[in-house]
Amino acid sequence: MSGILDKLLNIINPDECLISGEVLPEDREYRYISTERLLELSPPPHPLIIKDRLLSEYKADELAISKIISLFKINENDNVLNPIHKFKYMGITQIGIEFGNMLSKLIVPNEHDLIIPIPIHHARKRERGFNQSEIMGHSISDKTTIPLCLDALIRAKYTYSQAKLNREERMTNLSEKFNVKEKDKVFDKRILLIDDVLTTGTTANHCAELLLKAGARRVDLAVIAVSY
């Protein structure tokens, strides 16, 4: 019944690609994004190049993330920012599910034991209504069958945006904001962290460091896009 309703609604008010604005056909792979437009977006740099960029900000022994898996490379003018912003700030969670489905195609299930979305504070989750990384984590877990864990890594304190802070300020802002609550769940596990966009990597690396200190064997990161 829901499939028939979706078709009727699409006739009355057809879905448009959030990247190009074009009307999407009924028989499409993704609900909100044209497959053709996806192919036109900038592919991400090789994981080793992304790691080298992070190493320009961190010493080798400070970088806790082993590998970064990403769909796209973006800058502030890229059209792919439109669906990312509508997912994150307007609550169109289906977009996050679709990005998760795309990411799952890049993930080898037997390379990871556990998926952990980077948590947001309960106050922010109440304001927004959801955690974008959690939405993606559910989608990736469903496609890859890698177990999803939502209670091992918690955000203990509310933090403000990191975007306009320098490196020292970002580290201070994160101090004691995350905790590993269930250490037995991460011990000796190969963990895949989930976030939306990698910019400075400060938050993700801090979470990876805490997980390694709690006994995790390895921490990788999967994101929609890497900012370059």
Structure token digits, residue 100: 């998760």
- Please give the pLDDT value at position 161: 55
User: Which residue is it, tokens 């489905």?
Assistant: 101
53 CB-side CA count, 13 A: 17
Instruction: Calculate mean pLDDT across residues 138-143.
Output: 97
Q: Tell me the torsion sign for CA atoms 108, 111, 116, 118.
A: negative
CA distances from 29 to 17, 38, 94, 112, 155 (A): 12, 11, 13, 27, 35
Question: Of the given ranges (5-9, 117-121, 173-177), which has the lowest mean pLDDT?
Answer: 5-9
Q: Is the pLDDT of residue 209 over 90?
A: yes
Burial class of residue 80, CB neighbours in 10 A (0-12, 13-18, 19+): buried
Q: How many CB atoms lie within 10 A of CB 11?
A: 9
Kindly state the average pLDDT of the residues 72-82.
Answer: 77
- Residues forming CATH 3.40.50 domain(s) in the chain: 42-227
Kindly state the tokens that stand for 143: 């496609």
Q: What is the pLDDT of residue 143?
A: 96
> From residue 72, how far is each of 90, 105, 150 by CA, in Å?
21, 14, 26
CATH of the domain spanning 42-227: 3.40.50
Q: What is the DSSP letter of 110?
A: G
The residue written with tokens 């947001």 in the block is: 120
Q: Which of 57, 61, 21, 19 is nearest to 40 (CA)?
A: 19
What does pTM read for this prediction? 0.83
Which tokens belong to 21?
């604005």
Q: What percent of the chain has pLDDT over 90?
A: 42
Rounded-to-integer distance, Cα 42 and Cα 114, Å: 29
Asked if residues 140 and 146 have their Cβ atoms less than 8 Å apart, the reply is: yes
Question: Distance (Å, rounded) from C-alpha 163 to C-alpha 40?
Answer: 27
Task: Mean pLDDT check: name the lowest of 3-17, 55-69, 89-103, 185-199.
Answer: 3-17
Q: Which residues contact 92 (CB under 8 A, 6 or more apart)?
A: 32, 86
Would you say residue 187 has pLDDT above 90? yes
